[in-house]
Structure formats: structure tokens, C-alpha cells
Amino acid sequence: MAIDYPHLVRLAIPMGTAAYIGGFTRDWMQAEIDLRKEGVALPDYFLAPHYAAFALPAKALGDPAIWEPVKAAYTERFANRAPQDLIDQWDACLDFDCRDGLKTCPVPIDAIAFAEDVQTPPAMVRVVADLAQNGHFHEIPGLGHVSVARHRQEVVNALIEKIIDGAGEAG
């Protein structure tokens, strides 16, 4: 949105993002695609342990108060997912590349990385901030890819408020 319609956006705050998918994340997504194309379906008992490991940091997964609701939610969320849905999602991610667009995007971009993010490690998020004309990089220690939804939301929200407040003062 910020790249294609900069006149409609005052500030972008992408989290756990990437300008393109490379390295481990590319190999992981391609492996997930290939597995589904080969007709392999993960059994329900394996869904939460598999996907949660890519979503939350080890410390959160080791906390029963966090793990039990995540286990239930992830099992339900992925239990009836059609293989083609995963293929389509990851294919779109693997095809995506906004590096050139970021170089000409005038919108301030405050890219937030989570230090324990396995899906989009901080180095991938940093590329977004570094390529943007007015990019800023933020890294939150101890959080994973979906910590904003399942673990320590208050930490993420506090940083977002700080970024927005700073943008309001500047603009």
C-alpha cells in the first residue's frame, strides 16, 4: 500500500516482514509446498508443535499458560486447511519482491523485527528498513513471529504507540 499508493499512507509499520524471501525461510516455505504437492498431510497431533515452533520463541512455548491455549488454537486453525491453501500462500510469498519499490517509496517505514522470529528473522526485516527511503528498524528482544497475537502483545503495542506518537510530532 505504501509503495503503490504513497499518497494514501502517512506511516507504515510492518512487523515480521520481508522485502523478499531468501535463505532458510525460502527453503522452509518451499519444503512445505513440496510436501503438500507430494500429498503429505500433517496429522492433527503434529499441527500445533510444527507451526507454533515457527511462531513463538522457545521461552513462550515452554510456558504451560501460553502453550496450552496456543496448542488448542493452532490444532483447530490448521486441522482442516486445504493443502492448496498453503501452497498458494507460500507461492505468493516466494514470488513477492518489493526491494525496488522500497527504494522509491517516500512513506516513512518503521519495520519491527522480533529477535526470536524464525519465519522472518531480524536480518530480513532490516532489509526492509535499509532499502526504504525513510526507513527505521526496531528489534524487540524475546519475541517471535506471532508474539503480537499470542504472547506479550503489550510490548509490541507500546512500541507501536511510541512510533505513532513520534510520527505525529514530526508530521
Whether residue 52 is contained in a domain is answered as yes
How far is C-alpha 167 from the geometric centre of its chain's CA atoms?
A: 23
Whether residue 115 is contained in a domain is answered as yes
Cβ contacts of residue 89 below 8 Å, gap of 6+?
Answer: none
Q: Taking the CB of residue 150, how many other CB atoms lie within 10 A of it?
A: 18
Residues 56-68 have a mean pLDDT of 92
Whether residue 170 has pLDDT greater than 60: no
Whether residue 1 is contained in a domain is answered as no
pLDDT 10s digits, 146-159: 877 777 888 999 99
Whether residue 171 has pLDDT greater than 70: no
Bridge partners of 113? 139
Residue 11: give its domain's CATH number: 3.40.50.1820
Whether residue 7 has pLDDT greater than 50: yes
CA 139, CA 126: separation in Å to the nearest integer? 9
Residues 38-56 have a mean pLDDT of 93
Whether residue 133 is contained in a domain is answered as yes
pLDDT 10s digits, 65-122: 999 999 999 999 999 899 999 999 999 999 999 999 999 999 999 999 999 999 999 9
Whether residue 167 has pLDDT greater than 70: no
SS3 97: strand
Q: What burial class does residue 159 get, using C-beta atoms within 10 Å of its C-beta: 0-12 exposed, 13-18 middle, 19+ buried?
A: middle
Whether residue 93 is contained in a domain is answered as yes
Domain boundaries, position 22: 6-170
Report the percent of the chain where pLDDT is more than 90.
Answer: 88
Whether residue 127 has pLDDT greater than 80: yes
pLDDT of res. 149: 73
pLDDT of res. 157: 92
Domain count, the chain: 1
Whether residue 164 is contained in a domain is answered as yes
Give the DSSP H or E segment for 26: helix 23-37
